[in-house]
Amino acid sequence: MSDRLIHHAARQFALWRVAAPSGVAFAPGRVNLIGEHVDYNDGLVLPMPVREGTAVAWAARDDGQIVVRAADQDAADEFAITAPDRPSVPAWPSYVRGMVAMLRAPMPGLVGADLLITGDLPQGAGLSSSASLCIVVGRALLAAAGFGAAPVVLARAAQAAEHGYAGVACGIMDQMAVAAGVPGHAMLLDCRTLEFTLHPLPPDWSVVLIDSGIRRGLVDGEYNLRRAQCEAAARLLGVSALRDATEAQLPMLPAGSAERRRAAHVVAEIARVRAASTALAAGDLPAMGRLLQAGHASLRDLFEVSLPAIDDLVARVNGRLAGQGGARLTGAGFGGAIVAVIGRGQVSGLASALGAPLRPVW
């Protein structure tokens, strides 16, 4: 948790409302070490929370209104808690209103609230700023009403908010990693059952993010198209989700088709997640590096969500590491950051070689 961000949110709320907030909620962003585009295929993933995130300073209201200020954008929204209408154009209010809508059914005692939102996650960098926003808004709303909720409840509400209010057919990984993740630990999450285990990173490993500088959005159709192609592949194979497909079944899909490429990525990526959890437990950095590199090649060639500039950045990092760790695109693709798992002693040398700052995760 970022104490600096918490204090900043409290100060901004006091300036806005000329009174101290009743509390400040926080939710981190997340980085996915491996297991990309498999959560909505009921697969296995290996994410972990990052240090940066989103804070919401809050105070309950007695008039049933939700009054929101996005301090970083100098923007505001207001609506009745009983009528969280979906905005016509997806933007940050979509996530706030979506969380109100999705929490009101399981939590009918929600009350109005003043909410001030601020954060230090870069937008469009593949660090799940949207899930962070949804989860922290949920935590603030529950705190204002004097409620608590299990991480799974918050995660499901956040996923539903993204589906119904932002138009993004996302899986559940981001929301679970943000709601239930523990700093310094990778979460091996089964996206079908939502069962998970937490695994500490070896003390001599470091996870760093390198921003490509290329921002991307998910509502331009490409993300939803990939999901539709995966679902079509599952139907052709006669399985409920590509989690249940095998490599031996892939020739059943039309040769050269997008469905075959997407399914090939998902089947191999789930196997890589299992292998990565084994490498993590063994502290085998070279094995983890090979898996990350293979995962990136699959995202580039089979899932087709990378870009040449990102491929070049990944290649530079992997060339510098020379087998002692590895890097790949993280997040949904078409821009954002890359993640590198390296030895702690490699951090300064890698930063110097790239001529760019590294953002440490752990």
3-state class (DSSP) for residue 72: coil
Please name which of 277, 284, 304 lies closest in space to residue 33, comparing C-alpha atoms: 277
**Nearest-CA neighbor of 288 among 318, 243, 263?**
318
| Tokens matching residue 253 | 């899909």
- Torsion, Cα 248 254 260 263, to 10 degrees, reads -60
Task: Categorise residue 124: left if φ over 0, alpha if ψ from -120 to 50, beta otherwise.
Answer: left
What is the rounded CA–CA span in Å between residue 188 and residue 48? 9
Q: Does residue 174 carry a catalytic annotation? A: yes
Active-site option among 42, 114, 174, 211:
174
- In angstroms, the CA 215 to CA 78 distance is 28
How many angstroms separate the CA atoms of 361 and 203, rounded? 13
Q: Is 28 exposed, middle or buried (0-12, 13-18, 19+ CB in 10 A)?
A: buried
299 in Cβ contact with 338 (< 8 Å): no
Burial letters 130-149, b for 16+ CB under 10 A, else e? bbbbbbbbbbbbbbbbeeeb
Active site residues: 174
